[in-house]
Amino acid sequence: MSDQEHVLQVGTGWVPADLAINAFGLISPDNIFGSVGDLRLLPDRNSVVDIPSDSAIPGVRVYLADQVLPDGSPWNCCPRTFLRQALRDLREQTGLQLAASFEHEFMVRDSPLTAPFSFARFRSGEPFGTDFVQLLDGTGLNPDSWLPEYGAGQYEVTLGAANGLIAADRAILLRELVRDLARRRGLRVTFAPLLEPGGVGNGVHVHLFLRDAEGGPAFWDPGRPGRLSRLGARFAAGILQHAAALTAVTAPSVASFLRLVPHRWSAGGIFLADRNREALLRICPLVSLGGRDPAGQLRLEYRGCDATANPWLVLGILVRAALEGIRHDYTEPVVFSEAATDVDLASVPALPKSLEEALAALEADATVRSWFHPDLLATHLSVKRSELATVAHLDEAGRCHAIADVY
């Protein structure tokens, strides 16, 4: 048996307290695991990615892994298992399946000054851009688009939609591929929500596609507002109902909520809208060019996320929230048109104003708390509060810089 095959069968050692390491590399002081316990990191054979050698830098084979107990049974605090179980419950309870795509923004620091969205920006990113797209294509991550964005040195990359667990796996891998290639090219990149308090932010937009048991589009109904089916409206209602608590997982850094405010083109409130980039949930535009069928295109875009979040937990709680809306038939949300004004939106609920508020909302929402094993929830709260304590002495600019250096 090869060494690789041995590791694929039995994994490698891991420690529960590793889950309690915060963004700044410190174990949260009140982590519930202490110094005891043992786990295995069990690689998923289907997650393999080969990063080719590059000059003097050797290639590497990467596997994503589940955190399991030494006998191979699931560990209640594994984020990847959290998502897998949520997707299984969605399928078993409703017959529905979720596909998703993560749209990332990041900045190449110290880039030449170029105009937003410009060809000059696009070309100034070479040869990194071409190398990056080729790397995504060669590793099977299915790149959809790569383009210059609004902020200084900012770019956007979107991957093609994939079934739920694969989509989250690809989001994890994409971030590491960006950082690894940038290091090899002598570049500094950051996915941080903000580099400066008033600056342009980096978001992660999560595109959600719902399919019925036959694989047909479950969001589509041309006779309803936004062409969103009643099932789709209930799906959205669950996310909106629990939105404040969800942001404690989807935007979990001390800088995240400086970005999630009105008139920042991020998420200005808790509402559903047709083609409005201020909405927490947006119905994306449909393309009819070339005779394309709009039904399969219809998707919901969750805009209250950034790359300080764990994609497995993000997609898992969005599925759980949507499932609540479907199962309990929450009141259908209003679908605001893209013509909606500030006056029209004046009554929509606001997002939390800080990570502290979001964590409090998470603790106060008994439904959202119930989705987590108590140890996983306690660890998330502990890690986030230890990060808050680490930067408590800094002003807003200092907090943004600290997060930018980490992410």
Q: How many CB atoms lie within 10 A of CB 112?
A: 12
pLDDT at position 1 over 70: no
Mean pLDDT in the chain?
A: 95
Rounded Cα–Cα distance for residues 182 and 188 (Å): 6
Mean pLDDT for 319-336 is 94
For 349-401, how does the pLDDT look when each residue is reduced to its tens digit (9 = 90+)?
999 999 999 999 999 999 999 999 999 999 999 999 999 999 999 999 999 99
Mean pLDDT for 2-23 is 93
Which CATH number does the domain housing residue 161 bear? 3.30.590.10
Give 85-138 as a 3 state SS string: HHHHHHHHHHCCEEEEEEEEEEEEECCCCCCCCCHHHHHHCCCHHHHHHHHHHH
State how many domains the chain has: 1
In a domain, 110, yes or no: yes
Assessment of whether the complete model's pTM goes beyond 0.85: yes
Q: What is the pLDDT of residue 362?
A: 98
Rounded Cα–Cα distance for residues 50 and 116 (Å): 33
pLDDT at position 309 over 90: yes
In a domain, 153, yes or no: yes
Could you tell me what percent of the chain has a pLDDT over 90?
88
Mean pLDDT for 158-174 is 96
For 259-299, how does the pLDDT look when each residue is reduced to its tens digit (9 = 90+)?
999 888 889 899 999 989 999 999 999 888 888 888 899 99
Rounded Cα–Cα distance for residues 240 and 371 (Å): 16
Q: What is the pLDDT of residue 292?
A: 87
Query: Domain range for residue 96?
Result: 79-406
pLDDT at position 338 over 90: no
Q: What is the pLDDT of residue 288?
A: 85
For 189-223, how does the pLDDT look when each residue is reduced to its tens digit (9 = 90+)?
999 999 999 899 999 999 999 999 999 999 999 99
In a domain, 4, yes or no: no
In a domain, 43, yes or no: no
In a domain, 45, yes or no: no
In a domain, 262, yes or no: yes
**Length reported for the chain:** 407
In a domain, 60, yes or no: no
pLDDT at position 90 over 80: yes
In a domain, 33, yes or no: no
pLDDT at position 56 over 80: yes
Q: Which two tokens stand for residue 96?
A: 């529905």
